[in-house]
Structure 1
Amino acid sequence: MTDEATRRSRLRRMREDDLPVLFEIQRDATAQRQAAFTDATAGDRDAYLSKFRRILADDAIVSRVVEVDGEVVGSVAAFPIEGDTEVTYWIRRDWWGRGVATEALAALLQEVPTRPLQARVAEDNHGSRRVLERNGFVRVGSEESFATARDATITELILELPA
């Protein structure tokens, strides 16, 4: 069952004026640890803004903002990487567990027809794994990867939404 918030959520194109808000959302230390795979821009506002300006200019990347009642609560995207297309999402921690990530990903999947799609998640990130599985992703592998936000090598699950 979904929360009332998911019925009031929507996706829209990401704009440059969203970037400062999205930067603040992803600065949450608990969320970074849970996500595990952050990069050097996570704590550097200027680097983050520069990176996301490049992303916004790349027509191969589908970047969307997740809003609930007009408030930005996260983002969802599909992007090419090494011959595959992967999805990613980041929802503000106070919105976790309410179905917002599941609904946002479902909306993105309707917009992005590419199949198969890939996703990666830290093995112990059960909430994110459930979001993917609820949207039809299945585990196809795993690998040991260095997780910057944890400063450790962890098991990363590889999931796929089949054709």
Structure 2
Amino acid sequence: MQIALRPVHDSDLPVFYRQTNDPESLRMAAFTPKDPADRDTFDARWKRIRASADVARAILADGDVVGSVAVYGEPGEREVTYWVDRAYWGRGIATAALAALLTEVPERPLYARAADDNAGSLRVLEKCGFRVTARTTGYAHARGAETGEVVLVLAD
């Protein structure tokens, strides 16, 4: 499978919206917007992202849009995030996409966060060189409860 990144196009947004409203994906991600089905909020968020200094990319697998990956936030506090369509989980796509983004965005440190029971996401981050630096809890909208969270950093 050929994995590639490209800038986000308007035509990607309906795909991202569908992907980020999959109930199982939401539960796994845990820390999501309060109402992921609010299309106006979704569109406003992506408009902000695309107009900012954040680096957002569509993930392509054999030419099909299968997710997104991004670096966002203030210098010195920037975080990575990614979302891959559940139909493509377990194929190394998130790892390949994040690795590609990390070569495109050389600044360090970069941070990441994941629910402490999201083994797949933690594995992706560790394969890309992120190391656990803290554990905390926070309210996870997708679960409607306090949830354990792991904080990771990529220093070099």
Instruction: Indicate whether the TM-score tops 0.5.
Output: yes
Aligned with 1:149: secondary structure?
coil
Using the TM superposition, give the Cα deviation of residue 81 of structure 1 relative to its aligned residue in structure 2, in angstroms.
Answer: 4.6
Unaligned runs of 5+ in 2: none
Give the alignment of 1:83-94 within 5 angstroms. 83-94=76-87
Q: Quick check: which one's helix share is greater? A: 1
Question: Is this contact kept in 1: 2:76–2:110, CA < 8 A?
Answer: no
| One-letter amino acid matched to 1:161 | L
Q: Deviations over 1:41-87 (max 9, x none)?
A: 511122211211111111x2000000112110000000015850100
2:20 maps to what in 1?
A: 26
Tell me how far apart the structure 2 counterparts of residues 21 and 31 of structure 1 sit (CA, whole Å).
Answer: 14
Tell me how far apart the structure 1 counterparts of residues 102 and 151 of structure 2 sit (CA, whole Å).
Answer: 17
Q: Is 1:160 aligned to residue 144 of structure 2?
A: no
Using the TM superposition, give the Cα deviation of residue 17 of structure 1 relative to its aligned residue in structure 2, in angstroms.
Answer: 2.3
Out of 102, 115, 137, the position equivalent to 1:109 is 102
Question: Is this contact kept in 2: 1:116–1:160, CA < 8 A?
Answer: yes
Moved more, 40-49 or 101-110: 40-49
Q: Is 1:57 aligned to residue 59 of structure 2?
A: no
TM-score scaled by structure 2?
A: 0.96
TM-score scaled by structure 1?
A: 0.92
Runs of 4+ in structure 1 deviating by more than 2 angstroms, as ranges, are: none
Aligned with 2:19: secondary structure?
helix
Using the TM superposition, give the Cα deviation of residue 140 of structure 1 relative to its aligned residue in structure 2, in angstroms.
Answer: 0.3
Q: Identity percentage over the alignment?
A: 47
Tell me how far apart the structure 2 counterparts of residues 150 and 82 of structure 1 sit (CA, whole Å).
Answer: 30
Aligned with 1:114: secondary structure?
coil
Unaligned runs of 5+ in 1: none
Out of 104, 118, 126, the position equivalent to 2:111 is 118
